[in-house]
Amino acid sequence: MSQINQSGWKPGTPMAAKDAGAHPTVTGNKALMLEEPLIFEIGDSDTYGVDLAETHTDLPSRMGDFARKSDIGLPGLSEPQTIRHYTRLSRQNYGIDLGLFPLGSCTMKHNPRLNEKVARMPGFLDVHPMQPIDTVQGALGVIDELAHWLIELTGMQSVAMSPKAGAHGELCGILCIRAALEARGDARKVVLVPESAHGTNPATAAFAGYTTEDIPANADGRVDLEALKARLGPDVAAVMITNPNTCGLFERDMKAISDAVHEAGGLVYCDGANFNAIMGRVRPGDLGVDAMHINLHKTFSTPHGGGGPGSGPVVLSEALAPFAPLPFVDKDADGNLHIVEEETVGEEHGSSFGRMTAFHGQMGMFTRALTYILSHGADGLRQAAGDAVLNANYVLRRLDDVLHAPFGASGPCMHEALFGDEGFAEGLSTLDLAKGLIDEGFHPMTMYFPLVVHGAMLIEPTETESKDGIDQFVMSMRSLAERAKEGDEALKTAPHHAPRARLDEAQAARKPRLVWTAQSE
């Protein structure tokens, strides 16, 4: 798909003057924000960036049926062309190193450079899962020590380190629950999911073969405890609850919820994606949780997407520990670390539900997370959680006079502040405000989630943002909120200063163009 900028310009076509009196440009560039076509449009497959001597050989190909039957069609570019192309594209992107990333629920923490330095140390960077065990004792030691910290911080019995991400961790926890119930001959069929839980929770339960049912929220945005108790019964296998929940609120009845579920014979899964708000302050194990995944990228600052394998360790209660997945790290009688596989499982671990993944492949995530933990210590982690909550409440109270805060009256929020679109002029929406935020130089917040709030705007500043940085964001949000209330028509066509104009998102979803094809003249 050929790139077209917000004025409809294509590479090689003079761009018309946008404003009266403006001089038209022939490049489409906007000052130092350079327009950049696709790489296929700036090179061709008949030229090369380097000169290679021709080679002639009569040796037969070893590729067999896999030999390429046609040219690959990649463009040939010089080194300066290549570097400039990707550098120009990078300047049209937004990341945590540029400014505040207010996505709620996603917890876009700053990734300390110390973490990256340690993860690139020899022995961590180049470790391979097929190495002899005696050559990877240091790497296994990292896994073992990180596991120790996760158990201590959550107050749980054990931890499964192999899950690769949050949703993978959810599946691990639910499979542990299913294995435990089946082991006692009590194969239940229903998982209850509150309205304030993460959207992956019901999907995970359904994938594991369960039927899901909703539990409503009360007027304060928390689980309706009485409705939950009324639904519990012999068919309920578990409750999947997010705490703090997606309304940015702590579930104050969590212990009562766990007690009621256990009394009814079920088990409690807690979505730990928001653990960043409570680490060092609340231990889920003390609240009766049986399984909880931890997103290392949300709580312990490992890269958030695009950085290779993710990591979603799952802490388990005493009731579920015997059913943890393989492989896992253990110590022998001499204190040497080794990996427990299927063929070596003894009576102690014989109840494992099986294997979710081949190896502990996310070594870089483990190393970064442990570096973050050790550089902070227990007191530092506690402070990080407190600062995250403080920043979110600062945003909440700086904006609740210009934006509708549906649960603002129920007390402080936790790590994220939630607003709705109530009071916007007719015809203007949360999407319009978010597009206007791009013109202000900020990435938009999470929109239309959670579903319990109309036109939801979920904002999570995290603990790494300074007051000055948050004040700049708040100033932009206040201005945009006032414009939305006054019916500013310009918001409907925002952004106006970004490299691209507003896209037709409905058409992009329904008719995506996933393969580049040359445009006809």
Whether 519 shows a pLDDT value over 70: the answer reads no
What is the band of 15 on the pLDDT scale with cuts at 50, 70, 90? very low
- Contact between 302 and 368 under an 8 Å Cβ cutoff? The reply is yes
Count of CB atoms situated within 10 Å of the CB of 449:
17
323 or 33: whose pLDDT is higher?
A: 323
Could you please report the per-residue DSSP string of 73-125? -PPB--HHHHHHHHHHHHTT---TTTS---BTTT------HHHHHHHTSTTTT
CA distances from 382 to 76, 230, 355, 388 (A): 53, 36, 34, 10
Q: What percent of the chain has pLDDT over 90?
A: 64
CA distance 245 to 220: 12
Strands 236-242 and 267-271, sheet pairing: parallel
pLDDT of residue 345: 53
* Domains of the chain: residue spans and CATH: 114-369 (3.40.640.10), 379-509 (3.90.1150.10)
Least confident of 21-30, 293-302, 405-414: 21-30
CA distance 353 to 495: 50
pTM for the whole structure: 0.88
Residue 36's nearest CA partner among 92, 76, 103 is 92
CA distance 491 to 429: 9
Q: What percent of the chain has pLDDT over 70?
A: 92
For 391, the 3-state DSSP assignment is helix
DSSP state of 418: E
What is the band of 4 on the pLDDT scale with cuts at 50, 70, 90? very low
Provide the greatest CA pair distance for the chain: 83
Average pLDDT over the chain, rounded to an integer: 89
**Crossing angle for the helix pair 430-439 and 467-486, to the nearest 10 degrees:** 130
What is the band of 466 on the pLDDT scale with cuts at 50, 70, 90? very high
Q: What residues form DSSP beta bridges with 63?
A: none
- Contact between 255 and 288 under an 8 Å Cβ cutoff? The reply is yes
CA distances from 396 to 2, 102, 130, 169, 472 (A): 42, 13, 50, 31, 14
- Please give the average per-residue pLDDT across 325-351, as a whole number: 77
Q: Which two tokens stand for residue 122?
A: 């020899």
List CB contacts of 203: < 8 A, sequence separation 6 or more. Answer: 167
The model's pLDDT over 240-250, given as tens digits with 9 standing for 90+, comes to: 999 999 999 99
Q: How many helices (H) and strands (E) does the chain have?
A: 12, 12
pLDDT of residue 290: 98
Whether 517 shows a pLDDT value over 90: the answer reads no
Q: Which two tokens stand for residue 64?
A: 């067999």
Whether 69 shows a pLDDT value over 80: the answer reads yes
- Residue 379 burial (CB < 10 Å; 0-12/13-18/19+)? exposed
Residue in this structure with the two tokens 């004025």, named with its chain if needed: 7
328 or 239: whose pLDDT is higher?
A: 239
Strands 446-447 and 158-160, sheet pairing: unpaired
Whether 346 shows a pLDDT value over 60: the answer reads no
504 or 249: whose pLDDT is higher?
A: 249
Whether 433 shows a pLDDT value over 50: the answer reads yes
Q: What residues form DSSP beta bridges with 160?
A: 314
What is the band of 349 on the pLDDT scale with cuts at 50, 70, 90? low
